Each structure stands twice: as C-alpha cells, then as structure tokens.
Structure 1
Amino acid sequence: MRPWSHELWRIGLLAIAGALVGWLLSSPGLGLAAGVALRLIHHLHQLHALRRWLSRNPHNEPPAATGLWGELFDRLYRYQKGQRHTQTRLQATLRRIQESSEAMRDSVVMLDQRGDLEWWNSAAERMLGLQATHDRGQHITNLVRDPRFVAYFNARDYREPLTLASPVDERKVLQFQITLYGDDERLVMARDITRLHRLEEMRRDFVANVSHELRTPLTVLAGYIETYADAAGMLPPRLAQGLSRMREQTDRMQNLVNDLLLLSRLEIDQGGEDHVPLAMTSLLEEVRRDAEALSAGQQRIEVEVEEPRRLVGSDAEIHSALSNLASNAVRYTPEGTRITLRWRPHPKGACLEVEDDGEGIDPVHIPRLTERFYRVDKGRSSETGGTGLGLAIVKHVLLRHDASLEIESHPGEGALFRCVFPDDRLAPPQTTAG
C-alpha cells in the first residue's frame, strides 16, 4: 500500500502547488487543474510504455519506472515469469502423458464436451481406423457406428465395459471403457481382447460338449440304478443303502449337467425369438407351486402382484431364473421362513422380487454370488442339492432381457433378490373382451 499512498501524496502536493501558483496569478482553479494535468500526463506516458512493452515482447525486462508504476511493472513481470514456468511445466507433463499413451498397447481417445475427437494415440489409429488428417473434430459415433456403442455412449452409464467387434477388422474383438473427467469431457479406452474372447469361446464349447457327452452315460447309469432300486428289498441292507446313495448322486450329476447345458446355451445363443408378453400372475403361481413342492411345507410361500403390465420375454428363461431364486430361498432358509414372490413397479420400469426373512447373507459375499459354483457356505453344498449355477443362470437370463440383478441382505435380516426390467420390456396389461 505504500506506493499507492505515495501516489496520493504526490497528486495532493501537485494540486496544492498548482493552486498556490494560480493564487499568485489570481487564478487558483487554473493552477489546480494544471497541477493535476501534469500528473495525468505522467500516468498516460507510463500507460503508453506498458502497452508498448506488452505488445512488443513481454519476455524482456520491463520499462524503468518508480513508484506505483514501478511496482506494477515488477509484479506483471514476475507474474509472467511464473506463468511461463507453469506453462513450460504443463507442456512437459502433457508431452510425458502423450508419450506414455503412445507407448500403450490400448487405444486412448480424448473427447470434448460434445463428444468430438480431440486427440488419440497411434493404437487408436490401428484399432479404430482414426486418421489425423480428417477425423479430428468428428463426433465419435460418426466413426464407431455400431448401435450398441451409440446406445452405450448416450446412456452415460459407464460402470461396465462394452465388448464389440473392431470397426476396422471384424475378426478382432475390442472392449470399450469410457470415463468422464474434467468439464464433462470423456476418455475412451479400447483393449484388444480377441485372444481372451477366443479362449472364452473355447471354454464354453468345451463345457457344452462335455456336458452333452455326459448326458448319455448318466442316463444309462440312472436307468440301471432305477431298475436295481425296484429290487432293493432283495439286497443286503448295506448294498441297499449304497444304492440309495448312488441314486442321489446320479440325480445331482444330472441336474448339474442340465444346468451346465442351459448356461452354455444362454451364453452362446442370442435369443429373442421366443419373447412374448407374459402372464405374470400365472407365472408366479406356477413357480410358487414348484417351490412349495420342494419346501414340503417347511416354508410359507406367497405371491404378490402389484404391477399390471406384462413382461416381454422368454417364458422358459424367466421361469428358469425365477425358479432358481425361489429354490435357493427354500434351500438356504430355515423351517418357518416366509418367502414372497413379487411383481411390482420400479423407478426404472418393473421388477421381479424374491424375498425371505431367513438368516440373511453377509454383504462381503454379495459381489461374488453370481459366479459359477460360488457358495457362501461350502459345507452345505451337498446338503442343499444345488448345483452352484443357479445365480449364474439368473444373471445371464437377465442380461438377455436388458435387466439387472440387485441383491440386498444382511445377517439376521433376510435376503431380497430383485430383477429390474426397463420400461421398454413392459407391455400393457391384457384386456378381456367385453
């Protein structure tokens, strides 16, 4: 504040001196104006020097000046030096980021707020066919035109990656992941997962083929065991007991093979041909009857229908998914548990729910429940009679119906399995002719 106060003192002294000189000449007002004008001319001269310095080369030393103007020149010069230093550091950082991105095998594409291409690495040129000569500034969906990518991009829900064929080479499979950053800008990354995709196809084919080949010997084995079981009364007690155990394990193996075949079909087959509006009340009642037969009266099973609209989907697949959830509730809850099968509205559309008031599940297990053969309690695997594939089947059925699985549970508070279907999967309620 000292230069500013000194400047005020200078203006005041010039004004007083001008007024005194004007008073001696019988015109104090003219003298006052002359004193102030002298200081104004000085400021205009310094302002012209500032403009000339900034317009010519602000990197040079600033003009010599004292007082308020001297401090202003010094501060501007120090600020510009700091800005140049920051700019140099940012440019170096940007170069390192670009160099590291160029070294990546995955493609990296930077988009602006509108989704137009700003920058990409050389891997993106190979994988996506981008060309620096005329693609810069183009919208990303003009270059990656697959409808699934367009829907993924516009949905702005990037929690899960998207797998698509490369727009350059259909033999290659890419996994896209979009990240929001900055001021609503987006970073698009694509990985070449062709090898992993082929290995996954080989795994699915192997499981399907082995499961199919196991069906015939298991059917023969089950037939002979059934025949011997009819004559169990003629066998010694120890052999009869072993025969009963063989029958249980054969049934379990047949259920496992059937679930593996179903899961393989869900993974390979695109589906959709048998999707029709489903009568949800009758579907839930049918699943309830199956669950009651499995429960043998140990649990109370109820149905609630609060949503009048019908679900558009595969009757067999939705029935299988709901049956797996209901049978899990029967197998893993104690006697006296209340199990509710529910079809109700949801903010995203509608949902199927299977809720119980049993022992509940520790939340640490929930992220892995849909994995094949994952069990919360491995010691109960043989007791429950399940195959460990039920929730994996549920997950794949929901994926084929554009739906998602939500699980809510805590120990001692029961469990809620919710299948959420979007609005476009719902049909108006069926009307009866009057």
Structure 2
Amino acid sequence: MLRGFSVELRRLLILLSVCALVGLWFDHVVWALLAGSGLYVAWMVWQIRRLNKWLLHMNDEPPPESSGIWGDLFDNIYHLQRRQMQEKNSLQAVINRVQETSSALRDGVIVLDWRGCLDWWNPSAQRLLGFHSSDQGKSVINFIRHPRFVNYFEEGNYGEPLEIPSPRFTAKQLQFQITRFGRNERLIVVRDVTQLHKLEQMRQDFVANVSHELRTPLTVISGYLETLSDSGADLSPPWKRALNQMQQQSKRMSLLINDLITLSRLETTESGYNHKPVKLEPLLLSIKSEAQALSGEKNQEITLECESKELELLGSEKELHSAFSNLVTNAVKYTPADGKIAMRLWQAHGQVFFSVRDNGPGFDSKHIPHLTQRFYRVEQSRNSGTGGTGLGLAIVKHVLLRHDGELQISSEMGVGSIFTCVFTQTPSDK
C-alpha cells in the first residue's frame, strides 16, 4: 500500500509539473494547473466507478487492471475476498461434517433458537417426533405438548433428563435432555429408552412378585423356629446355637423382604396418591419411642426438638414414618453405647427440615453419593453385624422424592453424621 501511494504521488507530481510547463509556455499557469487537477479528479472518479462495478460483480470477474494506489487497492480487496471464501468454505466443511455426524446418531438432536423455536434437527429426531421441513421456526411445545415436558422446558432446570411417553408412538418411552448454549439457544437430545423402561418395569415386577412369594414360606419357617425355641426342648449346645442363628437370619430375611416390598410399592404407585396433611410432632414422638426401645442396653441419649407443635406436611403418614424411622434406626445402630442422637424439626424460608444427628464413627465423604443406592455398604465388616438390609436410605430417597423433598448428608470421621430431610412443599403451599 505504501509503494502504491508513492507511485500515485509521483504520478500526481509529474502531471502537475507538465501542466505547469505548458502553462508557462502559454503564459496561463493557473489555468493549466486547474486543468491538470480536473483531469486527475476525473481519473480518480473513473477508478471509483470501476471499483464499485467490480464490487457488485466480484464473484464473477477478476479485479480490474490498474497501477498505483488503485492497483494495490484492487489487489488487497481481491486477496481479502479470496481469504474470506477459503474461510467460508472451511467453516461450511466443518458444518457439513457436524451435520453428517449428527445425522448418523441414533439419538435425536434438535437445535432451538433463543425463542424456543425449531432451528435444525437430525433425521433421528424427525423419525422420533415427526418433524417436517415446514416446521422450522415453530415452537417446540407445539409438537411435544405433554404437561411434564412443558413444565420442564419452561422452568429451565435441566440438571436431570426427563422421561415421558412419545408424542408420536404411544408404545415408546423417550428421554429428553436439554442443554443451553450460545445466546440462550438450546440443544435437545432425544433418546429412545423404551427397552430400558421395559427392563426396569420387569425388574420392579420381579422384585415385587418374588418378595410376596417369599413371605409365605419364610413365615412358616419362622413359626416353626419360634415353636422349637419356645418348646423348651432338650437340645445340645451346638443345636441351640444353630437354632439361634437360624432365627436371627430368618428375622433378617423378613426385614429384607419387607423393605423390598416397601421399595416396590414406592416405585410402582403414583406419587401424591391419597396425600393429606400430616402432623409431624406426634409422628416423631412415636419414632423416638421406637428408637429408645431399639437402643435397649446401649443407654443412648435420644432427644427430639420440635420448633412448632402444629407443623404439618402434605403427604403419606405411612411413608413419612418409614423414611424418618429408617434415619433414626440407622443412627441407633451405628452410634456406640452412651452416644447421643438428636432429632430436630424446624421450618425456614418456606421449607420444612428434619435432621438426625449422631456422634457415631462417621464415614468418608466419598461414600455420600452412593449411600442411597440399594445394598450399598460403607464397610462390609462393620455393617454385617448391624442387622441392616442395605435398603433403608434407598427407601428414604424414594419417599422424599414422592414428597418433593431431598436428602442432605454430611459426615466426619470420628465425629458423627447428620442426615437432613428438606421438604419444599407444605399444606399452605398447596
């Protein structure tokens, strides 16, 4: 550009010098300089016209031939245009590659604009949801009208995926996971989980059926063992020891079956069914009495602090009793003799809290994400002697989910543990 500017300046000086010499020859220097300036301006206007014409047809024509600053200007614009075309082709190749990859996915992929309207989707999404090319720019809620999806989409809390029946095929179950990106655009991944849903239903049915079928023979076995134990029969020490062990394992299996039946009922019955206001203080007083009886000779100090005697929750009294009782029972089992267990109920910021604190051995924080899994054990050796089934916290988790609540856990080795139930809905909220 500097070289072209120098050439252009030299050209202008030569033109003005020639005009000045001609003016001196004819004794009209001023008019000669004006005429030369006019010619230069006309030439500049012509170059501007050429530039404008080429810019209008730059995709079809090479840049005009020129010299000086205009030659540099044409060449620079041409090189910028070529670089832009290369970058555009490169970006288009990336876009085509992404679209090809997305088209090969078995999961549906939907891109929404900032308004929540359809912008792009892959063939799998078209197959699962029945989109057509004319649907571009329409709201996704027009095609997925299930109330749970509408609430999920509008609330904007996309931490967990949503499973609902397919709006197109009633026999299919679809999972929707939404992710935000860009300027409030959203990406929806749609997955067909029909097979997983059927397997989960088979698992639930199997557990429920087996648990009920095992209950009858176990009751018969326990009855005969109790009869033998109460009959006062003259048994040798080895047989007495065997009889005691059979009774212990029979009771443990009975507890396990009861917990499996409870879990099965929580998983298969509709959430919110037959809920009514439940006064919490009488419920917790009953659980405290049960805990004191279970504590027995361990001489543990079990306390209950209720902020309000009138505090209520909308829910199932039986389910809430099961959840709270499991937390307190665990505290009794794992807290040593003469230990302290504190139950507390309070309300704050429109939420109801119930916590169970103990000064037992505690556990490492790495176990917290897994504690509500079925049959999870922190330490196999320690738990084998407690008589637990490994299902207590799983039951707590399911009960809280059915009551719009969550379980918060904190623990410190050698200090103790705190289990807190947080409920977001009370009768007044309804």
Structure-2 separation of matches of 1:272 and 1:317: 11
Segment drifting more, 31-40 vs 310-319: 31-40
Do 2:5 and 2:68's aligned partners in 1 also have CA atoms closer than 8 Å? no
Do 2:4 and 2:72's aligned partners in 1 also have CA atoms closer than 8 Å? no
Say if 1:43 and 1:427 are closer, same or farther in 2 by CA, change over 3 A: farther
Gaps of 5+ in 2: none
Which residue in 2 is equivalent to 1:123? 124
Say if 1:258 and 1:85 are closer, same or farther in 2 by CA, change over 3 A: same
SS of 1:113's equivalent in the other structure is coil
What letter matches 1:50 in structure 2?
L
Do 1:310 and 1:428's aligned partners in 2 also have CA atoms closer than 8 Å? no
Do 1:11 and 1:36's aligned partners in 2 also have CA atoms closer than 8 Å? no
Say if 1:299 and 1:81 are closer, same or farther in 2 by CA, change over 3 A: farther
Which residue in 2 is equivalent to 1:354? 356
Which residue in 2 is equivalent to 1:415? 417
Deviation of 1:309 after TM superposition, in Å, equals 5.4
Structure-2 separation of matches of 1:295 and 1:273: 34
Segment drifting more, 37-46 vs 63-72: 37-46
What letter matches 1:130 in structure 2?
F
Do 1:104 and 1:123's aligned partners in 2 also have CA atoms closer than 8 Å? yes
1:372 equivalent among 359, 371, 374: 374
The answer to whether 1:72 aligns with 2:77 is: no
Identity %: 46
Alignment of 1:30-429 (within 5 A): 41-58=42-59, 60-132=61-133, 134-232=134-232, 234-296=234-296, 297-306=298-307, 310-345=312-347, 349-422=351-424, 425-428=425-428
Q: How many residues align?
A: 425
Say if 1:414 and 1:2 are closer, same or farther in 2 by CA, change over 3 A: farther
Structure-1 separation of matches of 2:248 and 2:361: 27
Deviation of 1:251 after TM superposition, in Å, equals 0.8
Say if 1:232 and 1:15 are closer, same or farther in 2 by CA, change over 3 A: farther
SS of 2:385's equivalent in the other structure is helix
Structure-2 separation of matches of 1:402 and 1:336: 35
Segment drifting more, 245-254 vs 85-94: 85-94
Describe the superposition over 1:260-307 as per-residue Cα deviations: whole angstroms up to 9, x where unpaired: 001011111114232122222333333233223323354433334457
Say if 1:53 and 1:414 are closer, same or farther in 2 by CA, change over 3 A: farther
Structure-2 separation of matches of 1:403 and 1:115: 30
Structure-2 separation of matches of 1:2 and 1:41: 23
What letter matches 1:159 in structure 2?
G
Structure-1 separation of matches of 2:362 and 2:343: 17
Structure-1 separation of matches of 2:415 and 2:38: 86
SS of 1:63's equivalent in the other structure is coil
Structure-2 separation of matches of 1:111 and 1:66: 51
Structure-1 separation of matches of 2:33 and 2:371: 90
Do 1:18 and 1:34's aligned partners in 2 also have CA atoms closer than 8 Å? no
Give the structure-2-normalised TM-score: 0.87
Say if 1:215 and 1:81 are closer, same or farther in 2 by CA, change over 3 A: same
Deviation of 1:135 after TM superposition, in Å, equals 1.8
Give the structure-1-normalised TM-score: 0.86
CA RMSD in angstroms, aligned pairs only: 3.3
Say if 1:213 and 1:63 are closer, same or farther in 2 by CA, change over 3 A: same
Do 2:20 and 2:29's aligned partners in 1 also have CA atoms closer than 8 Å? no
Gaps of 5+ in 1: 430-434
Say if 1:5 and 1:79 are closer, same or farther in 2 by CA, change over 3 A: closer
SS of 2:276's equivalent in the other structure is strand
Say if 1:17 and 1:148 are closer, same or farther in 2 by CA, change over 3 A: same
Structure-2 separation of matches of 1:33 and 1:397: 96
SS of 2:135's equivalent in the other structure is coil
